[in-house]
Amino acid sequence: MKMKFRRILASTVALGVGLAAMAQEEAFKRAGRLPDVEYIYMSKDILSKVGGSLPVSGMDEVASQLTSMEVLKTSSRESAVKAFDILESSREGMELLTHMSENDGTVDIYGVRNSDKLSELMVLVMNDSILSAVMMKGNIDPETIKGISPESGKD
């Protein structure tokens, strides 16, 4: 009986994790359909081909650790607010790793830890009129993320 309970519990947990991952991907896609929103999805295959040509210094090493990346950017305040609300479900189960605030906006970085690596990393940048969001999935070394040059990717 104990063994049967463990199997049921393991199946339930696995299903829940799978549904949460689908909900995150679905949230980015739904937000990408809003007016004044640009959305890009990149698979591992594409990331391996474009990693060295990404416009952010140090991002090529991170790209090699990813299984997928989604990028979303709004161009109006209305779309930013709507997209932010949709992406709220993407943050469920994620730990807030960093919060930075300046006069004109905020940067929040969320992650899902998998021992000493991150299996998911989401960056939300919001100011008065726009929202930029990036969701990365893979086996991400936090030390590699620290190597990304902030000067090269201000956008």
pTM of the model: 0.74
Sheet (strand 131-140) strand order: 37-43, 66-74, 131-140, 117-127, 105-114, 95-102
Q: Within a 10 A sphere around the Cβ of 82, how many other Cβ atoms?
A: 19
d(CA 118, CA 123): 13
Q: Give per-residue pLDDT as tens, 37-65.
A: 999 998 988 887 775 555 555 566 777 88
**Contact status, residue 120 vs residue 112, Cβ threshold 8 Å:** yes
pLDDT for position 16: 44
% pLDDT > 90, the chain? 37
User: Of residues 90 and 1, which shows the higher confidence score?
Assistant: 90
pLDDT for position 119: 93
Give the Cα-Cα-Cα angle 68, 155, 75 (nearest 5 degrees). Answer: 90
pLDDT for position 55: 52
DSSP code of residue 49: H
Q: Give per-residue pLDDT as tens, 20-38.
A: 444 456 899 999 999 999 9
